[in-house]
Structure 1
Amino acid sequence: MTFIRRYITPFLIILLAIFLPKFNLPFIQNSENVHYVMRKISSILFIIAITWTIIVLLRVFKKNYLENYDLNQEDNLQARKLYTQFNILERIIIFVIITIAIGSGLMLFEGVRKFGLSVFASAGIAGIILGFAAQKALATILAGMQIAISQPIRLDDVLVVEGEWGWVEEITLTFVVVRIWDKRRLVLPTTYFIEKPFQNWTRTTAEILGTVFIYTDYNIDFDALRKELTRLLENTPLWDQKVNVLQVTDSKEFSVEIRALMSAKNSPEAWDLRVYVREGLIKFIQQNFPNSLPRTRVSILNDFDKKTEIKQS
C-alpha cells in the first residue's frame, strides 16, 4: 500500500493530467469554457504530480543514503550527525518545493497571476514584513538551520538542560524534544540551544567518565579502598576497563572527600556504574571500617582536667 501511494499515485496523476483535456464528455456541452477548465485542472494536477514526485525522490534518496548508518550502534556519532542534517534539511527543501508549487499554480490564472508572481518576485519585501511581524518565529527557523549546519546538538545526544538529564529525541526547524530519563518530554525552542548554555555529554564521543564521592573519617585506609574499587570494577560489565582512579580530593573539618573516577561506554551505563560503585564502597566501609564513617568528636573535661588546664595556662 505504501509503495502504491508513493510511486504509482504520482504516475497516475500525470497520466490523468495529460489525457484530461482530450476527454469528450457527452453529457456536458463541448464548449471553450469546458476546455479551459479542463486545461487548468490538467495543469494543476501536473504540478501536484511533479511536486509529489520530487518529494518522494527526496525521501527515497534520504532513506537509501542513511541505511548505511545505524543509530542503535554504540559508536553512532557519524550517524547522529547525518540524521540531524538530513531531517532538518529535508523539511527546508520540502517547504521550498511546496511554496514554488503554490506559486506556479497561482500563475495559471489571469486573475491571480500577479499574486503568483509576487510569491517569486517579492521575497525581499515579504521578508522585511515578516521580519517585523514574526521576529521570534524567524529566529527559531534560522536557529534550526544553524543547528543543522554547526550541530551543537544531534539526534540521540545526551544533554543536561534546565536541570534535567535526557536524550535528544527530535529536532525540527522550530523546536527540540528532549526525552528525559523518566520518560517525560522537555520541548525547547531551537533558539535555546544557540543562546543559552547546556551540557552535551556526547558532543565528540559516547564515552563518558563517571564520578563517585565518598566522605569518611581521617583514619580510613585509602589503599584498601583502591583495591576494593578495582575489585568492584573488574566484576561488572559496565566498566570499559579504561579509567580506574581513587583520590582524596578535599579535607574538611570533620571528614575527607574521596573521589572515585571510572569510565563507561555511554552515559546510561556510566550512571548504572556510578550507582553500583557507590553502593559497593559504602558497604565495604560499613563492614570493614565502621569506625571510619564521618563523625563529630566532642571532648568532655572533668573538674580535675579543667583545673589542670587553668594552671597550665
Structure 2
Amino acid sequence: MSVLRSSGSSVSCVQDQGSRPDGVIERTERLVQWGGREHTPFVNYVYDIALIDLTSEDDTVDWEWIGARRDKGVSHAQALDLAPRAWREWVKHGSSALPGLRRRVARAKVAKVRDQRPKPGSGEAADLETVYKYFDGRKHDFEALAAAVAARVLRGAGHGYVEGWLTRRSGDGGADFVGRLDLGGGSGLAGTSLVVLGQAKCVKPDTLITAEQIARVVARLRRGWIGVYVTTGAYSESAQTEMVEDQYPIILLNGTSLVGELRSMARDDHGGDLAACIEHVLTGREVAITNRRPEEILLQ
C-alpha cells in the first residue's frame, strides 16, 4: 500500500513509495495498517522528507549526481560537487540549516515569465499581437472580450456561471466586469453563489502585471467573492508569489491563456476564424454597462 502525504515544504511517504533525490529525511515512523477483505494487519513505515530548494538549478536535479552517489568508484567529495547548492549547504551546516534551505511551496505554483509568453515567431505570438493591436485604446471592447473568456474558463471548470455587466469608465475601483459563479447545482441549502469581479488589461504582450495591480482587484473582494484578471501581458513572478502566499482568491489569465481560449472559441463556433470569433463577441452578445453594486448580481 502506498501513501504520500505532504504539508508545506515537507513530504511524508511510505517505504514502498521511495524517497526523493531532492529531499532530506527528517523523521521515520513505524505504523500498523490494515488491508484486504480480512483487514489483515501489516507493518509499514512513513518518512517525513524536507524538500530542498532547487531554484539555483532551475528546479531540476542533475542525475549525474545521483549516479555518482551510487558509483563506488566516485568519492563522497566528488559526488558532492555535483549536488544542488542547497544539498551542499545541508551537508556543510547540518539539519539546523534546513529551515533556510526548504523549497518554498509558492514557487511551485509560480509560472516563469518566459512560460507565460508564446514562442517568438509562433502562430500564438502572431495571434496575441493581433489581439493587442485590435483592442489597444478600446477599453470597453477589451473588457467585453475578457468577460467572455472568463465566462468560458469558469464554465469549463464545471460550474454554473452567469455573466453580469461591464462597469462604466469612471470610478470602476478595480473591477471592469461582474459575474456570478453558482456552486452546488441546487437551490436553497444545496447551492451557493459567489460574486466574480473581473479586471481586464490590454497591454503590450511584453508588459508585466505587478503585485500592486493585482492587489487593486483583491482589495475590492469581500468574503465569498473571487477575482479574475485577464491581460494580454504576463504576470511578474513576485506578483504570483504574493498571490499564492497570501492566498488571494483570484484567477490569473495571461496573454497566452487568453489567445488559447479565443482559438478554442473560434474552432468551436467559427471554423477557426479568430477575427470572426472576436467580432461575434463584440456584436453578437448583449452586455450591459452600468455602475450597479457587484452584490446585486446575486439577485439575478
Structure whose alpha-carbon radius of gyration is higher:
1
- Assess same fold via TM > 0.5: no
Higher helix share: 1
TM-score by length of 1: 0.25
TM-score, normalising length from structure 2? Answer: 0.26
